[in-house]
Amino acid sequence: MKQLTLLLSTEQADARCRALLDQTRQAGQALAALTALEVFITATAHPDEKFGPLFPEIKTILDQHIATARARVMDENLATLVPALAEQNLCDIQRVHAALSRNGFHQAVLTAIHHLSDATLLAAAAWTWEWCRDAKARAEAASGFPDALDLRGAGIPPGLYAALAELDVYLQEAIS
């Protein structure tokens, strides 16, 4: 079996991470690229190297850049979510929901809530509650079975319903 040996210094790792951050337009893409790089290095490093002094240093550099990219992802999504809540913008809410993990979305909503006035928060909570109630009623009617939802039959994109249902839970908790 032929093998390719790669050489990587801490300076090269840092430079590669910075280049990835500079070359990607979206923070989510940078985060994915940095995570892939970390997985590649961890998976392909010779086992003996993992116990040497250099591997932990390179891992720390990667972790720092990943944390920076993750913070950028959260900042970008928060910048979209706050006005989306105020404007009741379904598309932007769904976009943020799709871009983040479940925990990331929860954290973004919690942070967004702190950026909203009380009146805006109450309006957003009332709007999501009403939207979810209406969507559920339409989906139940389209289903024909009790307690079963046919979102597609009701003309409701499942991703949109998931986003608003999660958002509604968080907003209702915030106002209670």
Task: Enumerate the domain spans of the chain.
Answer: 1-83
DSSP 95-152: HHHHHS-HHHHHHHHHHHHHHS-HHHHHHHHHHHHHHHHHHHHHHHHHH-STT---TT
Q: What is the mean pLDDT of the chain?
A: 94
What type of residue is 142?
Answer: A
pLDDT computed for residue 58 by the predictor: 95
pLDDT computed for residue 47 by the predictor: 85
* pLDDT cut 90: percent of the chain above it: 81
Which range (3-7, 57-61, 125-129, 140-144) has the least confidence? 3-7
What type of residue is 167?
Answer: L
pLDDT computed for residue 1 by the predictor: 86
pLDDT computed for residue 101 by the predictor: 92
- Average pLDDT (14-42) is 92
Structure confidence by residue, pLDDT tens digits, 71-93: 999 999 999 999 999 999 999 99
pLDDT computed for residue 2 by the predictor: 87
Question: How many angstroms separate the CA atoms of 156 and 150, rounded?
Answer: 9
pLDDT computed for residue 145 by the predictor: 85
144: left (phi over 0), alpha (psi -120 to 50) or beta: left
Within 10 angstroms of residue 136's Cβ, the number of other Cβ atoms is 16
pTM of the predicted protein model: 0.82
